Structure 1
């Protein structure tokens, strides 16, 4: 290991740049659909050694001294995000004639931008850099701060945060309930980077020892949490049976203006009224995916009548749909990406609109400027979607309350409002058909499962092409439908939850962890920690 670390530390020029990119790309193997979490050890060990070798002229100014560390982290991030997000280009190929020109921006431009966060993370770490375990703590501190910033700056995009690489299975997800995904990220970076100490001797024993202790605590708590009894629902009512419908409709057909929209609607209805498998109870609640209704539902009374004809009086349909709001004469209408709750009489009894829209997918930032450059929404709506100001719980007739998250809203751990504590389950409707059978839908599904663990709530997830599933409060998939499979699944929603950790407590624990690793790095930098091999 010492020989290898020496070679990496001394590598220079183009070889150094390529190795940094490769180190970032290797880490993606820890994410779905691969789940090989050991890849992160390789990735971050190489990053530590590369940062050990950064050098600048003593005569350089502050920028010149920090630039090598920033550029190393940027290259690492570029490799990580290109390898982890290349599938975004698939959405642009749905309408290739219109959007193929933007492929380089999606495949290379977005990763280049996101890599800035990792460049700043390594710069911050390098400021606190020292020998031994201190530099591992500094790296964890830098990534913790910048992953937190990435979760909300510029509308936020915390997709594939490093912590997800430490949570491939439910046993390794449970820590997120206590310290959140961001807290797991900080400690995961420390553990993933710890093997670098084997190659440089300094701080080897305490660093590796602490990393092993953290890994054991992570796994031990997972085992403990998975064996705790769930909290039963307070209500004595019979638990409802929920049916998730996955129609698996090709995205090109959904976007084709000449497509038979009635046939798409009929397919959803046909799957909804199928008899239960194995002689089970008929569903009380039926869930369709995001924008499942291929027209403006409120303008189509025949569609509502058909829903009423197919549903029993006590059944409820939850569906994704586009909602339009008339703004009056001379003013363009507003469109919302919404969820409707429809009862057995065909009446819309509740609704919730999406609050966090996808930039360039559902709206164009700085539209008045960018429209002159020919940049438009991928979703074809005049002016794009509008964002709701507040997320609203969906109330079922039997008193069940669902916390609605549309599409990628579920990747934002810090956006859960206090209303979630009143919910019996999280509802996530999405349409991952935009991204084909690529790593994208699998990465999205993992993040949805981790949200269920964080909040201690069951998850009901309906996706047009997959992955649809019922997930318990521990992130375990109770039943599901694979990608590109057509069908439905019925499961009883027990309403059971785990012993809930408050969101404020999770944030407090995160900042406590960040503070501890930052303090350790600073103390080591100032030379107050004795050198121990």
Structure 2
């Protein structure tokens, strides 16, 4: 007779995990591009269950389910990359499983944080502080474990307003994750009777916004346009399914040329997106030179994404600066590759994934070479998702005058992906105190000044150009000087608070 009772208990447990998954998915609506900030309070649902959990494993499963919902709802667009180029039935079948697999992998960080933090804290309020500490460390760990994938960070919700984003110049994106999580737990503190904590953490985002408003108020409105150097960002809007079609290559190059020469005045520096030249320089040198000559004036240069062969016939995802006469002035090779996008881990054991990645892996570049151009200074190139790694986008020993992020993003269609990518780029500009120019194939192309203010922006699916002034760089921000030390200072403060909250009950008694 105990079997039916056990079955009912299992069903109830599965149903509760499903509700936690839905809560995580709903909470993710607080992220860009929707920015429904109150949705983040839905994380209190799994949190109350976590506080009542009877074991580490139960706590882990609760937030593993919530994390799966959060990442499934916010990174679903990754699966679009499987089907954008090929109508293969196999890839259509694999697409939803890819989205689910990614969500489950990322949810491990949430589950691990819940498992470890459950072991600390005897009072519920102390356990909340321990949870914030380990959860925030998990968000930070997502930036480098297994090459890193710090997407859908809780701190991204502060990009809802430029003023609230300014705190990234001090504590960075991971520090904002700490603040965002405390904000999410306001209902929990309130229900537990800790109204003072609830009020503090409800007001904390407003304090950050006030700090940001003061920071921006000290900057004149014309600071972004003080430079006389202009830069042209070209968005050709070439569909991904057509990008590598050899029969359409000349048409695509003609579009790039036409956009680059548009108008009466063409800026000296023109930037094309990632792999804008869909061919190898070594095999198409004459075509490349002719295209650049037609696209530029006599003193003009183009920075374009292009694949190339390195030593030993290795395949590199690169950006080159090439002048009107066809001379290559600088080369940058992408250093941080996308797993299962540009190379396949464990290729020998996963042959069925070859249609996704292709038969040959890209290899990472070995050196970070700044590009330089008279009138523009030094430029840090960032190809595609290299821009998402807070604290790892520039070398401390060679601070550039601006950052340039070239990307494709046509892989992800009309989804939240390009918008999320755009916000990541904006956050890097604020963190480093450097202007950032972002050039995408199908959008969203944009320019940001050193405070993250939008200089210009071009929407998804549109073709055209943006001619933007190159604003000045700021002196290194606190984040640029000290990196994530501000974040770790917050973690130590939280751990100290959690320890005090636990010990205080013994002191009082």
Query: What's the counterpart of residue 502 of structure 2?
Result: 525
Counterpart of 2:411 (choices 429, 434, 437) is 434
Counterparts of 2:356 and 2:326, CA distance in 1? 32
Query: What's the counterpart of residue 208 of structure 2?
Result: 218
Asked if the contact 1:232–1:496 (Cα under 8 Å) also holds between the matched residues in 2, the reply is: no
Q: Secondary structure at the match of 1:145?
A: helix
Query: What's the counterpart of residue 455 of structure 1?
Result: 432
Asked if the contact 1:139–1:190 (Cα under 8 Å) also holds between the matched residues in 2, the reply is: no
Counterparts of 2:493 and 2:326, CA distance in 1? 56
1:28 aligns with 2:28: yes
Query: What's the counterpart of residue 335 of structure 1?
Result: 315
Counterparts of 1:283 and 1:529, CA distance in 2? 70
Query: What's the counterpart of residue 508 of structure 1?
Result: 485
Distance 1:222 1:466, change over 3 A: same
Asked if the contact 2:269–2:300 (Cα under 8 Å) also holds between the matched residues in 1, the reply is: yes
Q: Secondary structure at the match of 2:382?
A: strand
Runs of 4 or more, structure 1, over 6 Å off, are 230-233
Q: 1:413: Cα distance to partner?
A: 0.9
Query: What's the counterpart of residue 46 of structure 2?
Result: 47
Asked if the contact 2:72–2:99 (Cα under 8 Å) also holds between the matched residues in 1, the reply is: yes
Q: 1:284: Cα distance to partner?
A: 1.6
Query: What's the counterpart of residue 347 of structure 1?
Result: 327
Counterparts of 1:355 and 1:377, CA distance in 2? 24
Distance 1:197 1:109, change over 3 A: same
Mapping 1:341-490, distance limit 5 Å:
341-371=321-351, 374-376=352-354, 378-380=356-358, 382-398=359-375, 400-419=377-396, 422-490=399-467
Counterpart of 1:254 (choices 209, 223, 243) is 243
Q: Secondary structure at the match of 1:375?
A: helix
Q: 1:238: Cα distance to partner?
A: 6.1
1:283 aligns with 2:267: yes
Mapping 1:191-230, distance limit 5 Å:
191-201=183-193, 203-205=194-196, 207-229=197-219
1:273 aligns with 2:272: no
Counterparts of 2:23 and 2:122, CA distance in 1? 22
Q: 1:397: Cα distance to partner?
A: 3.5
Number of paired residues?
493
1:323 aligns with 2:323: no
**Residue by residue, what CA displacement relative to the aligned partner does 1:271-322 show, whole Å, maximum 9, x if unpaired?**
000015xxxx531210100000011123321321331244212211111111
Counterparts of 1:522 and 1:166, CA distance in 2? 29
Asked if the contact 1:231–1:497 (Cα under 8 Å) also holds between the matched residues in 2, the reply is: no
Counterpart of 1:240 (choices 222, 229, 241) is 229
Distance 1:486 1:12, change over 3 A: same
Distance 1:169 1:420, change over 3 A: farther
The TM-score normalised by the length of structure 1 is 0.87
Query: What's the counterpart of residue 81 of structure 1?
Result: 71
Counterparts of 1:529 and 1:193, CA distance in 2? 25
Distance 1:238 1:441, change over 3 A: closer
Q: Secondary structure at the match of 1:245?
A: strand
Query: What's the counterpart of residue 4 of structure 1?
Result: none
Distance 1:391 1:523, change over 3 A: same
Query: What's the counterpart of residue 37 of structure 1?
Result: 37
Counterpart of 2:80 (choices 90, 94, 106) is 90
**Residue by residue, what CA displacement relative to the aligned partner does 1:227-263 show, whole Å, maximum 9, x if unpaired?**
2237999xxx96321000001010000133x531111
Counterparts of 2:295 and 2:103, CA distance in 1? 47
Q: 1:347: Cα distance to partner?
A: 1.2
Counterpart of 2:299 (choices 310, 314, 328) is 314
Counterparts of 1:502 and 1:121, CA distance in 2? 25
Asked if the contact 2:21–2:67 (Cα under 8 Å) also holds between the matched residues in 1, the reply is: yes
Q: 1:499: Cα distance to partner?
A: 5.3
Counterparts of 2:227 and 2:106, CA distance in 1? 47
Counterparts of 1:189 and 1:241, CA distance in 2? 40
Counterparts of 1:417 and 1:326, CA distance in 2? 25
Query: What's the counterpart of residue 330 of structure 1?
Result: none
Mapping 1:168-179, distance limit 5 Å:
168-179=160-171
Query: What's the counterpart of residue 19 of structure 2?
Result: 19
Counterparts of 2:482 and 2:506, CA distance in 1? 30
Counterparts of 2:337 and 2:416, CA distance in 1? 22
The TM-score normalised by the length of structure 2 is 0.91
